[in-house]
Structure 1
Amino acid sequence: MPGGVSGPPAEGFEVAYTGRGGSQFRRSLADAWAVRFEDVAPVRAFKSYKGQRHLPGLWWSSTVGGHIGYESWLERDHVMLLDFDPSVVGISSQPFWLFWRSDAGKGVSHAPDYFARREDGTALVVDCRPADRRKPRDMAKFEATQTACTQLGWEFRLVGAPDAIMVRNVRWLAGYRHPRHRPEPVASELLAAYAEPQPLMEGASAVGDPIRVLPVLFHLLWSHELTADVSVPLHAFSLVSAGVRR
């Protein structure tokens, strides 16, 4: 492959990461399996400059109660979906550098886009790259990263553009993700109203003025205390039912 990069590597992996206090660490992959990568600082800065192709930014995560960086709108969509995933309890961006040597003996490094920790303790590593921009050199790095994740029992995902309808729905709900959109007694009244599944607007209207009630409903859908099918466009007749509190 171009540049002598190919995978899987001929030698073992090393991992470098930065603690929240700024301390830097580098160790073998085998010694890093217990590191809480969901709590580390990014190993790379999110740079902004005139004329850059992608737009970086910060996503406020309701899962971690703080900001998570992204380097493109594609990454923003995927960190949003991780934030929406009820099984995810921790997220970090640019969590570590992975180092290895190719089968040609050349040193190679790669920093995945996201690390996510699930409620059951399992881990997920995510790289975001549009399908039409996956060059052979990049694919070699993704394949090596998958090999490293497999060694640790982590799941690895290489993702492109997510489903457009789901993204639009979740992006709308994300506008109400902050806890300030869960006032009482409206939240409890909505949970009671949808104890049995019913159309979205019917349940909201039964609780009170939709202008006051709908923001709370959208927050409950974001937090999965209530649930609806986000694979199809949300509308007034979308069926809403009881969910599970995060």
Structure 2
Amino acid sequence: MAVHSMSRVGDEGEVPSASIRYVDDSVRTVPFSVLRLADFADSVPWRQFRSVRGQRHYSGTYMSATTAGPVVHESRLELARLLLADFDPAVRGIYGQPCRLMARIGDRVRRHVPDFLLVMRSGTARVVIAKSADRLGEPKVSEALAWPGELVERCGWEYEVWSGADPVVLANVRFLAAYRRPGVVPEEDVRAAWQSVRDGDELAVAERRLAGGRPAHEVRPALMALLWSGRLVTDLSRPISGDSVLRRCA
């Protein structure tokens, strides 16, 4: 499947492009060959939607710690990928429904709105499309996913079709996300926890030392906040428990 390069200027789709919507409701269409991350400054999601009773899709907004603002999603699968992106220290920016891609494929003009654009600390970008694994084998779905990948990778960006993660890892990250926002745990509690915890502590041991005779549940949020921030790490392939081993990373 080939994404056509420019042949007839002005013909829709002949120049592969990204259309971006901005806060003033204007739309700018940029040839993908010259698209830059700066083009997304002051942009808003391509589609506007709202949650209504009885709808089939699980749409909404997620308050991201990475962006310090809301990011849209339209399914539980998208929300799961969004959680993992927010938790990932390699990600420094997240755009939901960042643009509409358009290109001529054969004799047809094709359009697609990616689910996310992740801005990586390495300086590159990653276009993410979330699609359930049971649909990846459908010919129409495979075709719809192939041409955006060719377009994105041709321009030096990364492309990801995401269908899920280890359910234990995802459950742990979902749990830790409750502690992601500044102010949820008082900063002085987080500082005290950081000063108290030792590299290699089991979680239960770290809690007892920090609690100093108080109930352990009173100090647990500070340790969870440190795990969310990445200053502490543990094996997330196992459910977080009292015997989870903590490692200091900063």
TM-score w.r.t. length of structure 2: 0.89
Q: Give, in angstroms, the shift of residue 15 of structure 1.
A: 0.9
SS in 1 for 2:148: helix
Opposite residue 237 of structure 2, the aligned amino acid is: S
Matches within 5 A, 1:139-218: 139-208=142-211, 209=214, 210-218=216-224
Counterpart CA distance in 1 for 2:241 and 2:67 is 29
The within-5 A match list for 1:53-92 is 53-92=56-95
Paired residue for 1:3?
A: none
Unpaired runs of at least 5, structure 1: 1-6
Separation (CA, whole Å) in 2 of partners of 1:35 and 1:140: 30
Matches for 1:5-154 after TM superposition, within 5 Å: 7-11=1-5, 12-37=15-40, 40-103=43-106, 105-134=107-136, 135-154=138-157
Matched to 1:108, the amino acid is R
Matched-pair contact (CA < 8 Å) for 2:176–2:227 = yes
Cα deviation for residue 86 of structure 1 reads: 0.7
Quickly say closer, same or farther: Cα 1:115–1:207, change in 2 above 3 A.
same
SS in 2 for 1:236: coil
1:225 positional shift: 1.3
Structure 2: tracts of 5 or more residues without a match:
6-14
Structure 1 distance, partners of 2:42, 2:158, is: 18
Distance in 2 (CA, whole Å) between partners of 1:243 and 1:38 is 32
Aligned-CA RMSD value: 1.7
For residues 14 and 143 of structure 1, the distance between their equivalents in structure 2, rounded to whole angstroms, comes to 16
Structure 1 runs of 4+ aligned residues shifted over 3 Å read 34-39, 47-51
SS at match of 1:67: strand
1:4 alignment counterpart: none
Inter-CA distance 35–184: structure 2 relative to 1 (3 Å threshold): closer
- Give the Cα separation in 2 of the matches to 1:26 and 1:184: 44
The CA deviation at 1:32 is 1.2
Give the TM-score normalised by structure 1.
0.90
In 2, Cα distance between equivalents of 1:74 and 1:18: 24
Cα distance between partner residues in 2 of 1:218 and 1:20: 35
* 2:11 match: none
Question: Aligned in 2, Cα 1:39/1:213: closer, same or farther, shift over 3 Å?
Answer: farther
Letter in 2 for 1:167: L
CA contact (8 A) 1:37 1:95 kept: yes
Displacement of 1:56 in angstroms is 0.7
Whole-angstrom CA distance in 1 between matches of 2:76 and 2:41: 21
Higher RCO (CA < 8 A, seq sep 6+): 1
CA contact (8 A) 1:195 1:242 kept: yes
